Amino acid sequence: MTDKIKILFDSFHLYHLPQFDPVIDLLSRDDRFQIFHSTAAINKREERDLCLKILASKPGTMIYSESEKERAKKMKELDLDVFVCGWSRYELQDYITEKTLAGMIYHGIGVKPSYWRDNHPRLNIRFVEGEYRMNQLRSHGIDIDLALTGFTKLDPLFTDNPVPDEKLTQSLGLDPGRKTILFAPTFYPSSLERFGMRLGEYTQNYNVILKLHMWTYFLDKFGQYNLIPQRNLAYNLAEKFSHIKLLGPDVYNITPYYKIADVLLTESSSTIYEMIALEKPVIVNRFFHLKLSHKLFRYRLFKKRLSKKMDKDIANFCFEMERVRDLPGMLEIAFRDNHQKLNVMRDFQEKMLFKLDGKASERVRGAILDRLQNQG
């Protein structure tokens, strides 16, 4: 090919970008590619403005309009060679021409049902993070091209440079004499409100990095559920307890924090499967703050949905916690007994994450070049 390969990464939501970042970094050093970026015009202004600001710092050219229809038109006029999305829940054919290779690097891993339901017919290829997911997609009748690549988001964990980790630790003001808890609650149903201010009381001998879900910052309501108390609680915790470090919405990528954390605390989340890449202990909270109507009428539904996501096998490589007050003791157990779970954890690594060699992005690039060559 004499012309550069025009590739656009569509960060429809900001949380799609962490999966793209390692691929963008790789292709920015490859003269064969010309990189473009975009984000959705229909998102809330706070998310949109932040995403635009972050994307402006990336190598490549921004394609954007305040009108989603105009954004689609601009993108289509580029006549892209490659289009990469983080989900496909919009009319892809309005954004790209027939010749464009449309691929998806999905924004989450684990056992979320949305993964196999999210399969727009215009997609040509999906870059898949593990054998488990490949088999799952096939069993649900997904018959498009699947490329087994590993999870691009985790590539930076397997570089050999420890200096950024030291700088990150220092920038947060973490006490080097304490172990660090990374708490990544989801937005709903969440365990954060069940902890309340007790989170600070139970963790005073640790550093705590609190990484909220993006929706906790950008949405006031999720359906009928009010997210404002959750957001305010996080602010209050960080204000009252000096050992709790709250990450702002501009910290869109949790990956660097896995390396400086000693344990992950979470619920139904892709972070479970990401943290096991480093073979560190994971504590899964089984208690949630639910709306009264959900407690009365839909608790079984939530329990079933969450159990499916986490899967009963999770107990074999994570530590499950049923009550808030158990946190101090559970932390001690997790640090003491994590080595007993390593064999199962490594089995899940192999199934869920393919190769942990820092080269998933290279495999994505290789798959793109192969498909383009076959098209030509």
For residue 248, give the DSSP letter. Answer: P
| Alpha-carbon gap, residue 139 to 342, rounded angstroms | 29
Closest CA to 224 of 198, 188, 193, 256: 188
Q: Kindly state the DSSP code that residue 210 receives in the 8-state scheme.
A: E
- As a whole number of Å, the end-to-end CA separation of the chain is 9
Buried b (16+ CB within 10 A) or exposed e, 273-297: bbbbbbebbbbbbebbbbbeebeee
pLDDT of residue 299: 46
Q: Give the per-residue pLDDT at 2.
A: 62
Strand partners, 145: 125
Q: Please give the chain's pLDDT, 376 residues, in tens.
A: 469 999 999 999 999 999 999 999 999 999 999 999 999 999 999 999 999 999 999 999 999 999 999 999 999 999 999 999 999 999 999 999 999 999 999 988 876 666 767 889 999 999 999 998 899 899 888 889 999 999 999 999 998 677 778 899 999 999 999 999 999 998 887 899 999 999 999 999 999 999 999 999 999 998 888 999 999 999 999 999 999 999 999 999 999 999 999 999 998 788 999 999 999 999 999 887 654 444 443 444 444 444 454 457 788 999 999 999 999 999 999 999 999 999 999 999 999 999 999 999 999 999 999 999 998 6
37 beta partners: 9, 62
Specify whether the CB–CB gap between 87 and 17 falls below 8 A.
no
What pLDDT was estimated at residue 119?
A: 87
**Element of type H or E holding 183:** strand 180-184
d(CA 264, CA 257): 10
Helices and strands counted in the chain (H then E) = 18, 15
pLDDT (0 to 100) of residue 292: 43
Look at residue 56 in the predicted model and tell me its pLDDT.
97
Q: Among residues 163, 194, 141, 151, which one has the least CA distance to residue 324? A: 194
Domains detected in the chain: 5-156+358-375 (3.40.50.2000), 161-353 (3.40.50.2000)
| pLDDT recorded at residue 110 | 74
- Residue bearing tokens 């790789």: 26
Looking up tokens 């793209």 gives 20
For residue 305, what are its two tokens?
Answer: 């949905």
| pLDDT value, residue 188 | 82
